[in-house]
């Protein structure tokens, strides 16, 4: 590819909307960086709170909790999917687990180089180690493990401005028609569910994105 072609080629971008309490978001968080890199696609990380979305739809909890049969199926499916991808899984003792602080930090770091590694670490703390990812202790440990200034980042994440940003991001998710996580956007084209990750990434090459 010559420099002229490279400079005029359409940008390849995917918006990745996720919540740390979402089991299928766990699968996508663990896979998306490698899958996107293999296709030359840039990820825009979009953490949002799934709880308000569910409440607006009339659910006071995850449908996987409210519907016993669906919940039983989902965890069996998670076992199969984790075997397929070679991802560890321990069913959390609390599901869905509140992760407000972890989400605020993710929003703060969404455009920083550590976002992918941070998200994988938080997801593993929830879905492998069964720890409280809403706690300062666990979030702080995750940041320290990545060599980051945990105290400074947590303080910034807990600022009123960042809290409002997360609320606004969740409102933006609702405005885009998002009803679950993970959700991916290629331009205005929406793909829902971990099993649509590859379809979303490949769509970049069937339509400008």
User: How confident is the model over 157-173, as pLDDT tens digits?
Assistant: 999 999 999 999 999 99
Tell me, yes or no, whether 172 lies in a domain.
Answer: yes
Number of compact structural domains in the chain: 1
Tell me, yes or no, whether 39 lies in a domain.
Answer: yes
Tell me, yes or no, whether 4 lies in a domain.
Answer: no
Whole-Å CA distances, 100 to 21, 47, 96, 133: 10, 11, 12, 8
Ramachandran area for residue 86 (φ above 0: left; ψ -120 to 50: alpha; else beta) = left
CATH code at position 90: 3.40.30.10
Of all residues in the chain, the percent with pLDDT exceeding 70 is: 89
Tell me, yes or no, whether 1 lies in a domain.
Answer: no
Q: Which of 200, 183, 132, 165 is nearest to 18 (CA)?
A: 183
**Can you give the pLDDT at residue 206?**
76
Question: Token pair for residue 126?
Answer: 């929830």
22 is catalytic: yes
- The range of the structural domain enclosing residue 18 comes to 12-203
pLDDT tens-digit map of 89-146 = 999 999 999 999 999 999 999 999 999 999 999 999 999 999 999 999 999 999 999 9
Tell me, yes or no, whether 3 lies in a domain.
Answer: no
Report the Cα 208 to chain-centroid distance in Å: 24
Count Cα atoms within 13 angstroms, Cβ side, for 144.
Answer: 7
Residue 55, pLDDT > 90, answer no
Residue 10, pLDDT > 70, answer no
CA atoms of 89 and 78, how far apart (whole Å):
8
Tell me, yes or no, whether 7 lies in a domain.
Answer: no
Tell me, yes or no, whether 208 lies in a domain.
Answer: no
* Sequence-separated (6 or more) residues with CB below 8 Å from residue 208: 10, 187
Residue 87, pLDDT > 60, answer yes
Give the H or E element holding residue 20: none
Q: Which residues pair with 44 in a beta bridge?
A: 15
Residue of 22, 25, 28, 62 marked catalytic = 22
Interval 180-190 mean pLDDT: 96
């Amino acid at each position: 590819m010559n420099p002229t072609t490279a400079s005029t080629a359409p940008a390849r971008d995917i918006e990745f909307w996720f919540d740390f309490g979402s089991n299928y978001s766990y699968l996508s968080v663990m896979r998306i960086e490698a899958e996107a890199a293999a296709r030359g696609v840039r990820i825009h990380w979009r953490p949002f709170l799934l709880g308000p979305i569910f409440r607006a739809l009339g659910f006071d909890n995850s449908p996987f909790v409210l519907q016993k049969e669906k919940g039983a199926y989902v965890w069996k499916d998670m076992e199969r999917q984790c075997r397929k991808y070679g991802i560890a899984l321990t069913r959390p003792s609390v599901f869905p687990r509140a992760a407000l602080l972890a989400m605020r930090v993710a929003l703060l770091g969404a455009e920083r180089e550590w976002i992918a590694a941070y998200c994988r670490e938080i997801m593993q703390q929830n879905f492998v180690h069964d720890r409280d990812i809403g706690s300062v202790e666990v979030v702080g440990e995750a940041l320290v493990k990545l060599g980051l200034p945990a105290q400074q980042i947590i303080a910034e994440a807990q600022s009123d401005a960042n809290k409002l940003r997360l609320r606004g991001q969740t409102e933006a998710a609702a405005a885009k028609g998002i009803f679950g996580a993970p959700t991916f956007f290629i331009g205005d084209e929406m793909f829902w569910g971990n099993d649509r990750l590859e379809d979303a990434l490949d769509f970049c090459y069937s339509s400008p994105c």
